[in-house]
Structure 1
Amino acid sequence: MGSVLFMPNARIHLYQDDLPAGLDLGPVVAVDTETMGLNPHRDRLCLVQLSAGNGSAHLVQLRPEGLGGPARRQGFLDCPNLAALLADAAVVKLFHFARFDIAILRKELGVEVAPVLCTKVAAKLVRTFTDRHGLRELCRELLGVEISKQQQTSDWGSPALSQEQLAYAASDVLHLHALWAKLEALLRREGRLGLAEECFRFLPARAALDLLGYVEPDIFSH
C-alpha cells in the first residue's frame, strides 16, 4: 500500500517496506537514503528515496521488524523489489555522495549497487574553484533552485514521518537528473568525464572498504 503527497511542482509516493511490484523508473534513477545517523555499522536505514527525474519521488519507509517492518533473511532486510532495482545492471543509479548511500544499502539490503553516478564526485572534479559541493549549494548555483536542509537532522526512525520530512527527503532526489546534466557538460568541457567514470566504477569497492573499517586511516594513505 502507498500514499501520495502533493507538493509544489512535485508528487511524492510513500510506500512501506518495499517498492510496489512492476514499478518502472526508467534507465537512470536518482537515489538517496535517510538513516538514524551517519555510522553505517550503528545506525539503521529508515528511508530510501527514488526518482525517475519526472517530478515524482517514490519513498520507501523501512520500519523496524518489531513494528511490522520487513523481516531479515540471512541478516538483510527482505525488500525484494527495492533490492532488485538497486542491483539491476541495466539501471544507472544517480546519487549525491554515493559512497555513504552505497555502503548503507549494501549493509542493510545485501546488494551491490551498480552502476552508479555521483554528483558530489563530479562537482569536485570540475568545480575546483570552490569547496562548496553540497547538494544545496549545487542546486542553487547550477539550477537556480533553493532546497531546504531544515529536516536533515530530524528523527527519520519515527513511525509517522511529517509532511516536512517527506518534502525534504523528496527534494534530495527530484533535482539530481538536472544537476547531473549540468555537471556532465562541465566534465566533458574540462576533459574529465573519463576520469569521473573511473571514479564511479570504484565507488562500490570504496563503500565496501568503508564497511570493513578502512576509513581512518584510509587504505590509500601512506
Structure 2
Amino acid sequence: MTLDKFQVCEGDLPLDIFNRYFKADSLAIDTETMGLVPQRDRLCLVQICDRDGFVTAIRIAKGQTEAPYLTQLLESEKITKIFHYARFDVAQFKHTFGVETKSVFCTKIASKIARTYTQSHGLKSLVQELEGIELDKKAQSSDWGNVNSLSPEQLSYAGNDVRYLIPVKDKLITMLQREDRWELTQRCFSAISLFVDLDLMYYSNVFEHQG
C-alpha cells in the first residue's frame, strides 16, 4: 500500500527508500510489538520518518532475524536516530537483529531533563505542547502481530508516532541548550546501550536501592 508520503513494505526497506534515508541527517524511528518484553514479545512493525515527513512502515515477519538495509541505518553514526523511549526500541532491535544502534536521541529523556515544569513526558503530551497537535492513541494497545491485516487506524497511529519526532527533537535541543542541560542529556544518551544490555539480561533493577 502506498499513500502520499506513507509507504508500507515487507521485511526491509526497498533500495530506493534506503538510499533516500541514508542521506538524511536525522531519522525518527518507532516500533510496534506484541508486548513490552523483547525476549517474549516479537517485533511486528518498524516506522521511519525523515525531515520531509516521508514515512515508511516495515512489516516484520514472525521469526525474521535479518533486515540488512534497516540495520545499516541503525548502525550509521552519521544519522541521528530519534526515538521516544529509545531504551525499549533499541533493545528490541538488538534482540531481533543483533544490531547496535548508534547515534541515538531519546525524546523522553530529553523531555524529562528539559521540561522539569511538568510530569507529563508521554509522546502525546510532548507533541501537543511543542507542535500543537493532539495524537490519537486509541490504536496503541492493539494486535500488531497480524501485519498483513493492519487497519487504517493502526497505520495512521504508527505513522503519527514518528511524524513529529524530528521537530520535537529540534525544539527540545533549543530548550536544553538554553538551560545549560544539553551536555548532561547527551551523556544520558550515551548510557542507553548499557541499560539495553542490562534489560536484555534481566538486570533492569541493578541501580535501585532495594534488593
User: TM tier, shorter chain?
Assistant: over 0.9
Write the mapping of 1:54-203 to structure 2, written as runs, cut at 5 A: 54-65=52-63, 70=64, 77-158=65-146, 159-203=148-192
The alpha carbon displacement at 1:102 in A equals: 0.4
Q: Determine the structure 1 residue equivalent to 2:39.
A: 41
Aligned to 1:16: 10
Aligned residues: 204
Mapped to 2, the partners of 1:51 and 1:221 lie a distance apart of 35
CA RMSD of aligned residues (A): 1.1
Q: Which residue of 1 aligns with 2:30?
A: 32
Hey, what's the Cα distance between the residues in 2 that align with 1:210 and 1:48? 20
The residue type equivalent to 1:211 in the other structure is L
- Aligned-partner Cα distance in 2 for 1:204–1:169: 24
After superposition, give the CA deviation of every residue in 1:165-214 in whole Å (9 maximum; x if it has no partner).
11100000000011011111110111000000011111112111110111
Q: Partner letter of residue 139 of structure 2? A: Q
Indicate the structure with greater strand content. 1
Compute the displacement of 1:53 (Å): 2.2
Listed as ranges, the gaps of 5+ residues in structure 1 are 71-76
Counterparts of 2:54 and 2:105, CA distance in 1: 20
Normalising by structure 1, we get a TM-score of 0.89
Deviation at 1:127, TM superposition (A): 1.1
Distance 1:91 1:161 in 2: 29
Shift of 1:41: 1.3
- Letter aligned with residue 31 of structure 1: I
Q: Which digits, 9 at most, give the CA deviation of each residue in 1:1-22, with x for residues without a partner?
A: xx3124xxxx211001111124
* Separation in 2, partners of 1:16, 1:58: 10
The DSSP-based 3-state class of the residue aligned with 1:154 is coil
CA distance in 2, matches of 1:170, 1:36: 18
